[in-house]
Copies of this chain bind each other. A is one copy, B any other.
Amino acid sequence: MSKRRENKVTIAIPSSTVSEFSNLREKTEVVGRIARAAAIFRVEDIIIYPDEPDESNLLKLLLGYIETPQYLRKQLYDVKPELQYAGVLPPLKTPHHPTESQLNQLKIGEFREGIINKESEGNLYADIGINIPLKLMGRVPSKGSRVTIQVTKTSPSLEGVLSKKSDNKIYWGYTIQASKKRIEEILYSKYYDLIIGTSRLGDPYHQKSEELRNKWYSSKNILIIFGSPMRGISEIIKIPNLKNVLDFYINTIAEQGCVTVRTDEAILSTLAIFNTL
């Protein structure tokens, strides 16, 4: 099981990311591939930033759905038309989507995603995808919450406590922010100590790889910004001299053989490259 990255990697995609596709099935498939790319390369956070046309609700819904362990989906998501093609979403197969569903496969100390869905005699219980409910010990949020739980006892009863993210060193999926803030505000926020814009117009990666490697390892919060195939980030982001605001402005797909590269292809390719730093 892969460890969480020591530095936090966030990707930002425009709310128009899937608008080039006319039907929901294709949109769903593309979001599925973006989610896979994020999970394969251990992205902690996906920001959906405003662009036109705005499909941030759909993106957020689908990215959230696929990030949810299969055993929790029915409880957390109502049937709705936007999830009509959820069946085509590929499984993430991350450590937080375990397939073991038997009590005897569970180990003490293991982390599990769960939903608090039962109250009995003053105790709260969670469904953690195991055939019996887990009794929650200690401080617990309200019923209906999705939580990460650490198993503390499997016999004679199944018990666990809420886990802090910092206790869990395993890569545990991504969070999603559908930002109301324009990307310009995010750029100036000072939260990120390394901001990389990706663009066909950027500097070829190989020219910058050494410099980027040094910066990558000294950074805690890394933001990688993607544009759309229609409009590159230099068109979306309304800042004169964008290059000066970004730490790097990079073309990760030099000499591309195709006229356009789709966003999901660009994300997978770019994350693959940065993963070798």
By a beta-carbon cutoff of 8 Å, the part of chain A in contact with chain B is 2-3, 29, 36-37, 39-42, 90, 92-95, 171, 205-206, 209, 252-262, 265, 268-270, 272-273, 275-277
Contact = CB atoms under 8 A, between A and B. Distances in A.
Contact of A257 (B94, B257, B265): B94
A257 B269 CA distance: 15
Contact of A265 (B2, B42, B254, B268): B268
B260 A93 contact: yes
A42 B257 contact: yes
A257 B39 contact: yes
A93 B265 CA distance: 14
Given A29-B29, A253-B40, A268 B258 contact: no
B276 A2 contact: no
A29 B33 CA distance: 12
A277 B260 CA distance: 22
B29 A256 contact: no
B255 A272 contact: no
21 contacts: A2-B255, A2-B257, A36-B265, A37-B265, A39-B257, A40-B256, A40-B261, A40-B269, A41-B253, A41-B256, A42-B255, A94-B258, A252-B276, A253-B272, A254-B276, A255-B275, A268-B268, A268-B272, A269-B269, A272-B272, A272-B273
A171 to B, nearest CB: 4
Contacts of A262: 36, 90
B93 A276 contact: no
